[in-house]
Amino acid sequence: MADTAEYDCDVLLGADFLIASAPPEAGISGHHVVEDAALAVSGGRITAAGRRSDLEGLRAKRRLELGRSLVMPGLVNAHTHIAMTFLRGWADDLPLAEWLTRHIFVKERRLTAEIVELGALIGCAELIRTGCTAFADMYLFEDAVAAAVDRAGLRCLLGEAIFAFATPASASAEEAADRVRGQAERFRGHGRLRVAVMPHSVYTTDAAILRSSLRLSEELGLPLHLHVAETAREAEDCRRAHGKGPVAYCRDLGLLRPTTTLIHCVVPDDEELDMIAESGARVAHNPRSNLKLGSGVAPVPAMLRRGILPGLGTDGAASNNALNMFAEMNACALLHKGHNLDPTLCPAAAVLDMATAGSAAALCRPELGRIFPGGPADLVALDLRSPNLLPLYSPFSHIVYAAGGFEVRLSMVDGRVLYEDGAFTTLDLPQLCNEAEKLKQWVLKTA
C-alpha cells in the first residue's frame, strides 16, 4: 500500500481551458481564462491552478486528463425550493393566486418528510447534472432536505421556512424557529451544510415574526433570507397595510444587513434600491420564475449601477420548471437586454459573476464560485466537443449563450467527484426514476 506522503495531491486535473478566479479578498470574482491548464486538488481544496506545463511534475494519486474541456467554478444557486420537483409541470400557465392556492398549497398541506426527501434527491441529481455545486434552499422539513443533500454530496444553506400559520412541519412560527435552532446545532461544524433563518416573506409573516427571525439570526450568527417585492400586488398590499413598500418595511424592521438576502426584488422603487445598496444586503434574482409566473422583470441593470451584484437562483421546479443554472444565466442575459432595448446590458462575464460570486455572497460563502489556490474544490467541466460549443472564441460567451447545462461531464464538490461522464457517484438514477413515479402517484392521489 502506497504511503500518501508519496503524493503531492489527490487529483491532478488537466483540461484545454480553465476559468480561474481571484481569491475572495480581492472582492471581485476576477474570472480569467487559462489555456492548456491544470489544477491540483488535495483534502477537498484546490492546492494549485495554472498551466499544464507548470503542474505536470506533481505526483498525483489520480490523474484526470479531460482534454478538450472547460473547467469552471461550480455554479451557485442563490434560491430554490429543491424538494418541489414533485410539482414540476403539475400546474402551469395559471394566474399566480390560483396557481398557489388551488394547485400548490393544497398539495403542500399534505406534505411529509418522505416526499420532501425524495423530491430533494431528484432536485440534487438535476443540480449535479447541470453544473451547480452549492445552493440556498427554503422549504418545510429541511431536515429531510439536509439528508438528501448530504447523500448527494452537494453544499447547501438550509432554511426551514417560517410562516405565521401552521404547516405540516410546524404548528407555529415559534415551532419552526425551534427547528432552525435544532438544525443550527446539528449542522454546526458540518463542512457542506449550513443553516439560515428564512421567514418566508413579508406577506406570509408579520412584524413580530420578522423581528424574532432577525434576533435569532443575530444570536446564532446565521444568514437571513426572505422573499421580498416579488409582485406589484405584494408591494401595493404592503403600502396599504404599512404605508411603505416591502423593502422599506424590511429596512425599518432592521432586516437589511450584509448577511440578509432579499429574494426576487422585482418591484422595488428607486429609493428602495438605494436602501439595498447602502445596507449591503444581497439580492437573489430568479428571472425564469419571475417570467413564468408573470411577476415582471427585476431592475437588475439599476442594481448593478448601484454596485449591487445580485445572486442568481432558479426558484422551485413548480415555477421554473428547471433547476438548471445554465438556463437561468441565459435567461438573465437575454431578458435585461430585451426588456431595456439595450444589448450592452448584462454581458456574459457579468452574468457568470452573478451565478458564482453574487450567489456565493448570498450564501455568505464568498470563497465559493471561484477557482483559486486554497479555495474549496467545487468545480465542473464542460465537454467542448459538444457541437453547440464549436468553435470556441470566448468561454464566457459559450457558458451564457450557447451551453444548455447538459454538456457538464464532471462535477466535483469538496474534492469529491459527484458525476463523471454519464455516471453519478452518490445517487442511483435508475432508482430515482422509479421513485419519481411514486411521487407522481402521491400528487395524483392527494386532493
Query: How far apart are CB 284 and Zn ion at their closest, in Å?
Result: 8
Query: Which of residues 160 and 315 has its CB atom nearest to Zn ion in the complex?
Result: 315
As given in the structure block, the three cell numbers for residue 172 are 407555529
Contacts of 445 (CB under 8 A, 6+ apart): none
Query: Which of residues 234 and 315 has its CB atom nearest to Zn ion in the complex?
Result: 315
Query: Which of residues 183 and 320 has its CB atom nearest to Zn ion in the complex?
Result: 320
Say if residues 27 and 56 touch (Cβ distance below 8 Å).
no
Task: Give the DSSP H or E segment for 311.
Answer: strand 311-312
Query: How far apart are CB 79 and Zn ion at their closest, in Å?
Result: 6
Query: Which of residues 282 and 370 has its CB atom nearest to Zn ion in the complex?
Result: 282
As given in the structure block, the three cell numbers for residue 148 are 438528501
Query: How far apart are CB 446 and Zn ion at their closest, in Å?
Result: 21
Segment contacting Zn ion by CB under 5 A, of 18-26, 156-164, 307-315, 359-367 = 307-315
Q: What is the largest CA-CA distance in the chain?
A: 72
Q: How far is residue 42's CA from residue 9's CA, in Å, rounded to a whole number?
A: 5
Residue number, nearest CB to Zn ion: 315
Query: How far apart are CB 50 and Zn ion at their closest, in Å?
Result: 39
Query: How far apart are CB 263 and Zn ion at their closest, in Å?
Result: 6
Segment contacting Zn ion by CB under 5 A, of 65-73, 294-302, 308-316, 411-419 = 308-316
> By CB under 5 A, is residue 407 in contact with Zn ion?
no
| Footprint on residues 310-339 left by Zn ion (CB under 5 A) | 315
CA nearest 226: which of 209, 244, 243?
Answer: 209
Query: Which of residues 160 and 414 has its CB atom nearest to Zn ion in the complex?
Result: 160
Q: How many residues bind Zn ion (CB under 5 A)?
A: 1
Q: How far is residue 423's CA from residue 32's CA, in Å, rounded to a whole number?
A: 29
Question: Which DSSP string corresponds to 10-72?
Answer: EEEEEEEEEEE---GGGSS---EEEEEEEEEEETTEEEEEEEHHHHTT--EEEEEE--SEEEE
Strands, E, within 58-172: which ranges? 60-65, 69-73, 75-80, 132-139, 155-162
Query: How far apart are CB 46 and Zn ion at their closest, in Å?
Result: 32
Query: Which of residues 129 and 227 has its CB atom nearest to Zn ion in the complex?
Result: 227
The residues of the shown chain that bind Zn ion, judged by CB under 5 A, are 315
